[in-house]
Chain A
Amino acid sequence: MANNLNTRKAKQKTLTALKFVVLFIYLVVVMFPFFWMLTTSLKPSNEINGPVDYIPNNPTFENYINMLFKGNFAKYMLNSLIASTFAAVVATFCGILAGYVISRFNFMMKTPVYLFFMITQMIPSFIMLAPLYSMLSKAGMTNSLWTLALLYANMTIPFSVVTMSGFYAGVSNSIEEAAWIDGCGYVRALFSVIVPLLLPGIAATAIFAFMNSWNELFMAVMFVDMDKFKTITVGLNSLILKYNIKWGEMAAGTVLALVPTMVLFAFAQKYMIEGLTAGSVKG
Chain B
Amino acid sequence: MKKFLAILLAIAMLATLFAGCGAKEEEKVTVTMVESLTSPERTATIQSIIDKYEAANPNVHIELISPPLENADAKISQMLMNGEADIVEVRDQTVSQYVNNEWLEDLDPYIADWEDLDTLSGDSWTCMHQLNGKCWLIPSGFYQRCLYYREDVLAEAGVAVPTTWQELLEASQALTDAGSNFYGYSFRGGTSGYQYADTVIWSYIGVDILADPNAGYYLKDGNGATIFTLPETKEALEYHKELFKASPTDSVAWAFSEMVEGFIGGTTAFLIQDAEVIANCQVDMEEGTWNTAPFPIGPAGEAVFPNGFGGWGMAAACENKEAAADFLMFLSNPENNTLYAANHAMVPIHTNASEYSDAFAKGYFACYSEMAAEPEVYRHATQPQMYVAFATYKTEVDAMYQKYLLDEITVDELLKWLDDFWVQAYADEGQLW
Instruction: Give the interface size class of chain B.
Output: 35 or more
Q: Judge if B40 is at the interface, Cβ distance under 8 Å.
A: yes
Task: Write out, one digit per residue, whether chain B residues 67-82 have a CB within 8 A of any chain A CB (1) or not (0).
Answer: 1111100110010011
Task: Kindly report which residue of chain B lies nearest to residue A218, judged by CB atoms.
Answer: B71
Complex Cα–Cα for A258 and B75 (A): 28
Q: Which residues of chain B have C-beta atoms less than 8 A from A244's C-beta?
A: 256-257, 260-261, 280
Q: Is A215 an interface residue (CB 8 A)?
A: no
Question: Does B232 count as interface, using CB distance less than 8 angstroms?
Answer: no
Within 8 A of A (CB), among B261-301: 261, 264-266, 273-274, 276-277, 280, 283-285
Residues of chain A from 132 to 146 with CB closer than 8 A to chain B in the complex = 133-134, 137-138, 142
- Chain A: interface residue total (CB-CB under 8 A): 29
Task: Tell whether B84 is near chain A: CB-to-CB under 8 Å.
Answer: yes
A241–B34 CA distance with the chains assembled, in angstroms: 16
Q: CB-CB contacts of B153-182 with A at 8 A, as 1s and 0s?
A: 000000000000000000000000000000
| A240 and B84 alpha carbons, distance in the complex (Å) | 25
The docked-state distance in angstroms from the alpha carbon of A137 to that of B69 is 22
Is the beta-carbon distance between A51 and B266 smaller than 8 angstroms? Answer: yes
CA of A50 to CA of B273 in the docked complex: distance in angstroms?
20
CB-defined contacts of B285 to chain A, threshold 8 Å: 46
Q: Is A241 touching B78 in the complex (CB atoms < 8 A)?
A: no
Report whether A238 and B66 are in contact in the complex, using a CB–CB cutoff of 8 Å: yes
Known contacts A46-B284, A49-B264; decide if A241 and B82 are in contact (CB<8 Å). Answer: no
Say yes or no for B37: interface residue by CB 8 A criterion. yes
Taking CB as reference atom, which chain A residue is nearest B77?
Answer: A130
Can you name 29 A-B residue pairings with CB atoms under 8 Å?
A45-B283, A45-B284, A46-B283, A46-B285, A50-B266, A51-B266, A129-B74, A133-B78, A134-B78, A134-B81, A137-B84, A221-B71, A222-B71, A222-B78, A225-B34, A225-B65, A225-B67, A226-B65, A234-B68, A238-B69, A240-B69, A240-B70, A240-B257, A242-B69, A243-B256, A243-B257, A243-B277, A243-B280, A244-B257
Q: Interface on A for B, CB 8 Å cutoff?
A: 45-46, 49-51, 70-71, 129-130, 133-134, 137-138, 142, 218, 221-222, 225-227, 234, 237-238, 240-245
Binding site for A on B (CB under 8 A): 32, 34, 37-40, 63, 65-71, 74-75, 78, 81-84, 256-257, 260-261, 264-266, 273-274, 276-277, 280, 283-285
